[in-house]
A = this chain, B = another copy of it.
């Protein structure tokens, strides 16, 4: 044991979640968060580049997770199989504790444009990493880009559904279903043109 309480980052995260829930994101100052974690503002900014990053800690790792997920797929994998491998790796990186954290973060993001901005940025960085990974496995550029959008959407929408669900279903189960559903919907929308407003299932 060192001279300081351990896990400064974790304490800052929980202090932030508590204070944000009480006062809202904007009304809470960095100094307040630091104080609640038994630290000073200076130390907070030694651990996190900015106030928002407290809530997104760990996410930088996702870029390499998705990359190695795709890279380690079987040699003979098709483009959609490579996509599944990448998205699956993302899902398996998450530990059950993040279900609870995600549940607490969501309403904060919904109320704060600043947090929405950071979310959108992280998503775009992750999507770009997935495009690169697919392209390196010889998926053509445009296909890689479009498939990446599909996979990232399944991941985010699936993650939201997962944090909402009380059951402790694995994240990948939820996202995998979402991914398949999107692929089906897209194939049908892009395929033989169908008139809308009719129930396609009845034909």
Contact = CB atoms under 8 A, between A and B. Distances in A.
Interface string A160-177: 000000000000000000
Contact of A79 (B123, B138, B149, B196): B196
- Tell which of A138, A142, A195 has the most Cβ of chain B within 10 Å: A142
Contacts of A190: 80, 183, 186-187, 190
A59 interface: no
B195 A76 contact: yes
Majority SS at the chain A contact face: helix
A153 B143 contact: no
A11 B150 CA distance: 41
Interface in A12-53: none
Q: How many copies does the complex hold?
A: 2
Given A78-B194, A79-B196, A117-B120, A189 B149 contact: no
Contacts of A157: 145
Most buried by B among A79, A80, A140: A79
Interface string A120-149: 110110000000000001111011011101
A193 B149 contact: no
Nearest to A140: B185
A182 interface: yes
Contacts of A106: none
Interface of A: 76-80, 113, 116-118, 120-121, 123-124, 137-140, 142-143, 145-147, 149-150, 153, 157, 181-183, 185-191, 193-197
